Amino acid sequence: MPFLRSLLLRSHKFMMWARIINGSEQIQEEETEQEEPEPEPEPEPEKSTAATYHHQPTPLHPPTKSSRREDLSVSCSKCRPSSRDKITVVPLDPNGQKRPSSVPGSTPNSLLRSLFSALARKTPPHATSTPFSSSEAQDNSEWKLTAADLSRKLLQVTRKRDEALLEASRLKYSVSELERKLNRLESYCRDLQASLDRSATGPTSATVEQFLLAVNESRTAVRHLSRCLITQLRAAPRSMDRLGSLLHSHGLVKTNPGSLIMGLESVLNRVFYSDFERVGEGEGMLADPADRCKANLAAYEAVRGLCWEDVLSKGTRHYSAGLSRFCDRRMSEVVGMLGWARAWPEGLLQAFFGAARGVWAVHLLARSVHPALPILRIDRGARFDPVYMEDSTGEKPTAGEVIMMVAPGFYVHGATCNVVKCRVLMVSGEKSERSGGGQKNERV
């Protein structure tokens, strides 16, 4: 039967273990005998296990620490070898101690009993182990469930931590981007403020005084040019008639010498200041208002001290290309307006250059500040305003109507002066009613 076969195999293994243990004990006893001196052995008869076998007395060892073991088992393989094999069985004590015994004639039944007793002591009954196993399995299942729950929670916490770290990194990147943009904005604001400080301070008192002086000089130069032209035109009746018709078209009726000079001065100022608001040549290349102001101021310094002798020696273009082009354009317009066909004498050319240089200097000074100083023009038929107008005759009228603008004005908005008044010709407030219409009395 398989059960008996497995049982025999286990008994065979058990006998082999017993031999090994017996051999190890014999080796220990031999080592002990070598260490301690051996007394003379006393002969002791040994009972024979068989009737036909006569065993010689074997000398026994003196009583030692292992006397208890020797009482239970005697080995004679050292002194007198025996032809029969002995089987040493070492039963197990329930208290865990070994009790070696020599059973030379052990039967199979005794071996089986000892084997079953050892197995019974080593293996607990199945009935008593079943509750423990079931409770242990239940505890193991509970631990497994708890471990699975903790693992799931750990995964969730880890995932949330990773998401939080990712969000933190994104926030750090956003904060760094905002800091970079804020630094750029602060730098731009500082540059803008510096530009405003340089260019938008408005005209200073020195600039205003210089501008007022240039305006007065230009008006004087234009009036001198008008007188020189009247003198030259009187020698040419055709040109004089053309001038009279031109002044009449502008509203000037009387043709006395005073009215002719003021009328021609008005026409010349219209020509010289026709494109005063236009950006000067070369200013379009400069985007920074401060650079434009510096360039116009440098051009003014170059022409402010220019005289007629310098022009005759080196020419106008040598000192200022802008002034040279301005003179050429304005002279062509004046010649076309008056129908002047003869060559201009040197005195007339000098007067024209003085007037053109004065108006060009006013143009440069007006654009040497940011924003540029605007020009003030008055049209025909406007009501007289003493804040922005002045009469060319020197009187101080309180009311009236403008016939002609003689010289333009300017808005300065400085500390000492807010406006340069416009010079105008006016109509008196008295009106004489006639049949078919009215007549206005001119004050010249």
pLDDT digits (tens, 9 = 90+) for 353-378: 999 999 999 998 888 888 888 899 98
Q: Residue 259 burial by CB count (10 A; 0-12/13-18/19+): exposed, middle or buried?
A: middle
Residue spans of the domains in the chain: they are 2-39+57-122, 150-199, 200-443
pLDDT digits (tens, 9 = 90+) for 388-433: 888 887 777 667 888 888 999 998 876 566 888 899 888 755 443 3
The phi and psi torsions of 441 (rounded to 5 degrees) equal -90, 125
- Angstrom distance (rounded) from CA 160 to CA 155: 9
**pTM summary value:** 0.53
Which carries the bigger pLDDT value, residue 256 or residue 77? Answer: 256
SS3 letters across 391-430 = ECCCCCCCCCEEEEEEECEEECCCCCCCEECEEEEEEEEE
Q: How confident is the model at residue 170 (pLDDT cuts 50, 70, 90)?
A: very high
- The per-residue pLDDT for 381 is 85
Structure tokens at 95: 């208290």
The phi and psi torsions of 92 (rounded to 5 degrees) equal -95, 135
